[in-house]
Chain A
Amino acid sequence: MSTDTIRLTIDRGSETQAFDVPAYESQTVLDVVSWVQQNADPSLAYRFACRVGMCGSCAMMVNGVPRWTCRTHVSKVVEDGALHVGPLRNLPVIRDLVVDMDPFFDKWIAAEGVHHGTRTRDDEIAPVDETSPARVEANSGIECINCSVCYAACDTVAGNPDYLGPAPLLRAWTLLNDAKDAGRVAILDAVSGSGGCHNCHSMGSCTAYCPNELDPMSAIAGLKRETMKHALRGRR
């Protein structure tokens, strides 16, 4: 079946290299990249773990668009038999296709993306009405796998290194709507700082490219509203 080949171009630091990779019917971008490391250039560095779109560690730029490579079928992105991959945008490159994701996670924490609980393991679990509007809102963003695809898609992050970015703000919004979370003021403060939600220009690339079909843009808009209400009520 592998009579055809795919022309794969890889950004590797300052240089670009091209490889001809055998094409198969069932093949993801991750498979094409893996083929190069396993058969052509053993020094090629890339990252993956789960292989099924759960861990969010395999994202790369594919033809200029950030994607989970393990869940992107080649046929969906190949253009005239060619593919171009590079390291994820907006994060420091460690080597070849591997980026340092720490800045992204530092911002996740800086956005107060951590549960602020009131109960302990000795208490009963809080009953929650899953149909309440707040919970529906919280649930809408909860499946984020912190893959950084949205972060790489956002031009604001590119130009404004302090900007917390879409996924961390989505997490903050989820917590703000979580009836179990007691960190309201801390969250609103965290997302109102100089790198906060107000830097977002609603360009919507985050929502357009999130492979999970989540909507950070609307979540950020929600934060803008809540921070304004909070300020107008004169709590700061």
Chain B
Amino acid sequence: MTMVAYKNRAHPLWLAYIVHRLSGLFLALFLPLHFWVLAMAASEPGRLDGFLRFTEYGIVKAAEFGLVFGLAIHMFGGLRLLALEWLPWSAPQKTLAAAAASASFLIAALFLMRAFG
């Protein structure tokens, strides 16, 4: 029942919440790794280069892309949330804000695709 229950209860704001949470969790788990790699820059530049060369491979590239993408989603989701909480929206304004957020999100995604494409 649980899965069905979630499926039945899901609605746009809830999906936004769960995406935001999962992306946040993902970022938080990745961050130490990211820092560790960077710290290598100074101590063992050779190793970093080796690692960076790795980024040419598909999987690693995909992971990096996922990361940037995740950061973008999380940020826009977060800004959306801050607007939702801090600006006393009326109902039509909310629809507008949602539209604006999704538009900017789309642009960001396109931008990123271009950059990585």
Residues of A within 8 A of B (CB): 11, 61, 63-65, 84, 86, 153, 155, 201-205, 207-209, 217-218, 221-222, 224-225
Contacts and interface: CB of A to CB of B under 8 A. Distances in A.
8 contacts: A63-B5, A64-B7, A201-B17, A202-B84, A204-B14, A217-B13, A225-B86, A225-B88
A11 B17 contact: no
Contact of A65 (B9, B85, B86): B9
B88 A64 contact: no
Contact of A218 (B6, B11, B89): B89
B85 A225 contact: yes
Interface on chain B toward A: helix, strand, loop, or mixed SS?
A: helix
Nearest to B5: A64
Contacts of A86: 1
Contacts of A201: 17, 21, 81
A205 B8 contact: no
A61 B8 CA distance: 11
Interface in B1-60: 1, 4-9, 11, 13-14, 16-18, 21
B17 A203 contact: yes
Contact of A205 (B7, B9, B21, B86): B9
A72 to B, nearest CB: 13
Contacts of B7: 64
